[in-house]
């Protein structure tokens, strides 16, 4: 079937035939416009979701910066308690440190993968706290030495937390001075 | 330990720990209890210990350090193997403890250094 034959045949088409021929590209155009709108809406939804996620992470980080000083204070109080030595206070402060460390880790996890070093150090410290608590509960002399391993790990976690606060404060200071 | 299911899972955990520790894929560390060692296994941790009263113990804790499961076995107690899983734990825990102790206390490298020094 040649093109001229088709052209001649088209001359004899009825109105519904012509609508079909014109309607097909229009349908394709409609599909394209719909697809583009869908993509635009989807992009907006993704952007909104990303913005919410970023805000949540930022809030978690700000909250983290509020809890970390309490964690540092709890570790200092624990050190003082085992050095005095005050067994009851040491037990209380170790439990307090663990409670705050769990909060800090939860907030650090919300920040995504950026705080992985802190999370790992807190996990190691928390893993060593129950045996140290048992050692304190057993009583006996020298609670400083009897809790040495757990306190070493607590110190590692606290050092990492301090590094985060220092880094964050430096960042805020740079932002402030650059305005 | 509360049930046979728990014993089965603890047995599976102990077997896996034994295998991975032998391969050097699990890092254990000394705790403040003598002859008790811990490793972080997300989302919690595991401790293996040796006590004068209960033989060997395996304790599983969550991310807050709260005990979730624990089992204590005494290889000298013939009545303790109440199930096949418990019988396996009685066999595995002493092996695991010895392997972990040697790893953490660097027993082999210390002996090698001593042998080197003696010539």
Band (pLDDT 50/70/90 cuts) for residue B9 is very high
CA R_g for chain A: 33
Provide, as residue numbers in chain B, all residues whose Cβ is less than 8 Å from the Cβ of A122: none
Question: A131 and chain B: CB distance < 8 Å anywhere?
Answer: yes
Query: Is the pLDDT score of B82 beyond 90?
Result: no
pLDDT tens digit sequence for A99-129: 999 999 999 998 777 789 999 999 999 999 9
Report the alpha-carbon angle B119-B111-B51, nearest 5. 160
pLDDT at A157 over 60: yes
In chain B, the residue whose alpha carbon lies closest to the alpha carbon of A132 is B32
Residues forming beta bridges with residue B57, ordered by sequence position: B49, B72
Query: What's the rounded Cα separation, in Å, for the pair A145 and A123?
Result: 22
- Give the model's pLDDT for residue A150: 97
Distance, CA of B13 to CA of A159 (rounded, Å):
33
A156 near B CB under 8 A:
no
CB contact under 8 A, B32 and A135: yes
Helix/strand/coil percentages in chain B, nearest 5: 45, 25, 30
Is there a contact between B101 and B107 (Cβ–Cβ < 8 Å)?
yes
Q: Which residue has the tokens 């009825």?
A: A14
Q: Do A126 and B67 touch (CB under 8 A)?
A: no
Establish, for the pair of chains A and B, how many residue pairs have beta carbons separated by less than 8 Å: 56
| Partner A contacted by B61 (CB < 8 A) | yes
The pLDDT of residue A135 is above 80:
yes
Asked if B32 and A120 come within 8 Å (Cβ–Cβ), the reply is: no
A127 chain-B contacts, CB cut-off 8 A: 38-40, 44-45, 47, 61, 65
């Amino acid at each position: 079937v040649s093109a001229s034959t088709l052209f001649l045949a088209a001359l004899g088409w009825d109105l519904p035939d012509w609508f079909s021929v014109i309607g097909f590209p229009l349908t394709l155009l409609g599909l394209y416009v719909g697809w583009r709108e869908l993509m635009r809406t989807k992009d907006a939804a993704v952007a909104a979701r990303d913005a919410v996620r970023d805000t949540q992470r930022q809030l978690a980080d700000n909250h983290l910066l509020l809890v970390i000083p309490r964690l540092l204070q709890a570790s200092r109080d624990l050190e003082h308690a085992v050095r005095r030595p005050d067994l009851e206070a040491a037990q209380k402060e170790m439990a307090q440190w663990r409670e705050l460390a769990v909060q800090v880790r939860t907030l650090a996890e919300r920040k995504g993968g950026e705080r992985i070093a802190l999370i790992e150090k807190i996990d190691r410290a928390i893993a060593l706290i129950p045996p140290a608590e048992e050692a304190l509960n057993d009583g006996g002399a020298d609670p400083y030495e009897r809790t040495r391993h757990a306190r070493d790990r607590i110190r590692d976690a606290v050092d990492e937390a301090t590094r985060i606060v220092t880094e964050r404060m430096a960042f805020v200071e740079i932002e402030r001075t650059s305005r | 330990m509360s049930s046979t299911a728990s014993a089965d899972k603890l047995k599976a955990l102990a077997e896996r720990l034994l295998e991975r520790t032998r391969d050097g894929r699990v890092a254990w560390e000394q705790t403040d209890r003598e002859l008790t060692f811990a490793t972080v296994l997300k989302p919690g941790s595991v401790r293996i210990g040796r006590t004068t009263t209960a033989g060997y113990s395996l304790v599983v804790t969550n991310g807050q350090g709260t005990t979730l499961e624990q089992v204590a076995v005494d290889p000298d107690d013939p009545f303790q193997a109440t199930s096949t899983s418990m019988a396996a734990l009685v066999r595995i825990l002493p092996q695991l403890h010895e392997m972990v102790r040697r790893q953490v206390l660097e027993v082999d490298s210390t002996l090698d250094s001593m042998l080197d020094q003696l010539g």
